[in-house]
């Protein structure tokens, strides 16, 4: 059954760190062949195993007490030699930022120190030390950062000094500051008050005309007024009035990005105790409505958490809280009744999410009033009013609803409309596709000769 004589073969290496010692030599010091001595005794016979273990223990004790010059055992030396070969084959050793190899002790390189000294000497030869140049560069970078923030996140700049303006120009173009402001181009506060009155008169002269040209003029003038106030560090009730006026203009023209910037500045000014209580309550209500439109329930909760008991009696805040409740409950009837009776500029803020509420209301109406519903009833419930049937019809068709008869369009076909209803604006999507095709057609192919 057993055909292999295991006494002839050597034992496996139990300690990988220490190589196996040489086999015991014969008394006369000569070997015969690979596995035995001349006298026929096996090199790894059981009688010699104890001697081999003793030799290995002697090796361990020798290495532990010094062994070689560096206190390393022969096994470790062999392992390091093998590891060094692998490192040479794999590439150079990784170095840290000081130029030393990973795990090595730091060392001083005189050649590198001389090179660095020569680089520093280049600046010393010009008469200005490296430290002075670094300070000057840092000062310039900070000044550029302050000036370059003119068109940044909130559109205002921050300076380390106050500018006193001497300009008497009422209308001024808004230009981004790329250097320190010139007092000759900055208007003082009395001139800015006259500029605001001029802007109000121009705005009243526009009448019902609310186009891009009118808004660009108003935006440019209001931004230049804000810039002059900021560089002169004017922060008083007049500053609050300027930001409130600009915020209302943004709402009327639907520029919610600029409105957000004005709202952020107004929040800081109100915290400083500036402005009136009525205006603060009004813009707090606008902030609530704006976050309701964004679906930012956490922001709305934070604003409500800071409301006082007297704030709930304010007309604007009470209205905003009612709109928030109607939107949360999906009560579109109450939502559009409030929309029709919105105070101040609240309706402009609600316009940012009124189409979303209308689309949700259309889904409910199509499901609850099958097979058809009068267009006048839908128009009244969606906040278009009795005279807004044409606008209501356009909104429904723009989202895939079917109106009948095709010529008169007095009834909404609920069954057909439920199948074709889409949540995006069809007209807006077609316009985007047309612009994309136009841009593609205007691309001039590059010819390589």
Q: What is the pLDDT of residues 385-403, one digit of tens each?
A: 777 788 899 999 999 999 9
Nearest one of 379, 385, 378, 375 to 340, comparing CA atoms:
385
Break the chain into its structural domains and give their ranges: 146-356, 369-432
Q: What is the pLDDT of residues 198-218, one digit of tens each?
A: 999 999 888 887 888 999 999
For 31, residues 6+ apart whose C-beta sits below 8 A from its C-beta are 23, 25, 37, 38, 43
Nearest one of 265, 153, 246, 167 to 203, comparing CA atoms:
246
For 370, residues 6+ apart whose C-beta sits below 8 A from its C-beta are 414, 415
pTM attached to this predicted model:
0.62
Does residue 65 or residue 436 have the better pLDDT? 436
Q: Report DSSP letters for 64-114, one per residue.
A: HTTTTTTS--HHHHHHHHHHHHHHHHH-SPPB-TTSPBTTPPP---HHHHH
What confidence category does residue 104 fall into, taking pLDDT thresholds of 50, 70 and 90? low
For 382, residues 6+ apart whose C-beta sits below 8 A from its C-beta are 332, 336, 358, 361, 362, 392, 395
3-class DSSP assignment, residue 42: strand
Q: Report DSSP letters for 262-319, one per residue.
A: HHHHHHHHHHTT-S-HHHHHHHHHHHHHHHHHHT-HHHHHHHHHT--TGGGGSHHHHH
pLDDT at position 64 is 43
Residue 175 pLDDT > 50: yes
Residue 170 to residues 190, 223, 338: CA-CA distances in angstroms?
Answer: 10, 13, 41
For the record, the structure tokens of 323 come out as 């709109």
Cα 389 off chain centre by: 43
Mean pLDDT of the region 259-273: 93
Mean pLDDT of the region 169-188: 88
Q: What is the pLDDT of residues 108-130, one digit of tens each?
A: 788 888 888 777 666 555 556 65
Class of the domain covering 146-356: mainly alpha
């Amino acid at each position: 059954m057993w055909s292999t004589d295991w006494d002839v073969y050597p034992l496996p290496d139990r300690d990988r760190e220490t190589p196996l010692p040489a086999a015991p030599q014969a008394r006369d010091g000569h070997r015969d062949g690979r596995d035995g001595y001349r006298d026929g005794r096996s090199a790894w016979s059981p009688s010699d195993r104890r001697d081999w273990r003793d030799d290995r223990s002697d090796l361990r004790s020798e290495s532990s007490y010094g062994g070689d010059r560096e206190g390393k055992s022969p096994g470790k030396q062999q392992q390091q030699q093998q590891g060094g070969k692998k490192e040479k084959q794999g590439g150079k050793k990784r170095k840290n930022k000081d130029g030393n190899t990973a795990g090595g002790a730091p060392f001083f390189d005189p050649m590198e120190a001389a090179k660095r000294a020569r680089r520093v000497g280049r600046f010393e030869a010009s008469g200005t030390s490296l430290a002075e140049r670094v300070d000057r560069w840092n000062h310039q970078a900070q000044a550029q950062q302050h000036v370059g923030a003119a068109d940044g996140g909130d559109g205002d700049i921050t300076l380390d000094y106050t500018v006193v303006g001497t300009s008497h120009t009422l209308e001024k173009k808004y230009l981004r500051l790329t250097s320190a402001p010139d007092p000759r181009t900055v208007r003082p506060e009395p001139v800015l008050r006259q500029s605001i009155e001029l802007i109000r008169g121009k705005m009243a002269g526009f009448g019902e005309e609310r186009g891009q040209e009118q808004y660009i003029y108003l935006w440019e003038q209001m931004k230049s007024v804000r810039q002059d106030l900021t560089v002169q560090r004017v922060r008083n009730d007049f500053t609050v009035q300027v930001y409130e006026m600009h915020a209302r203009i943004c709402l009327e023209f639907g520029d919610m990005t600029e409105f957000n910037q004005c709202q952020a500045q107004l929040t800081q000014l109100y915290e400083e105790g500036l402005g009136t209580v009525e205006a603060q309550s009004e813009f707090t209500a606008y902030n609530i409505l704006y976050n309701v439109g964004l679906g930012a329930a956490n922001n709305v909760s934070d604003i409500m958490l800071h409301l006082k008991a007297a704030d709930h009696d304010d007309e604007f805040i009470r209205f905003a809280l009612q709109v928030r409740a109607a939107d949360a409950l999906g009560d579109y009837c109450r939502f559009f009744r409030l929309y029709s009776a919105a105070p101040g500029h609240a309706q402009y803020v609600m316009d940012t999410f009124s189409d979303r509420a209308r689309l949700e209301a259309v889904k409910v109406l199509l499901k609850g009033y099958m097979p058809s519903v009068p267009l006048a009833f839908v128009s009244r419930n969606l906040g278009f009013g009795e005279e807004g049937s044409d606008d209501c019809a356009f909104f429904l068709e723009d989202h895939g609803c079917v109106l009948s008869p095709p010529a008169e369009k007095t009834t909404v076909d609920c069954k057909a409309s439920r199948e074709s209803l889409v949540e995006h604006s069809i007209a807006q999507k077609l316009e985007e596709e047309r612009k994309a095709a136009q841009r593609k057609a205007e691309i001039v192919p590059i010819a390589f000769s």
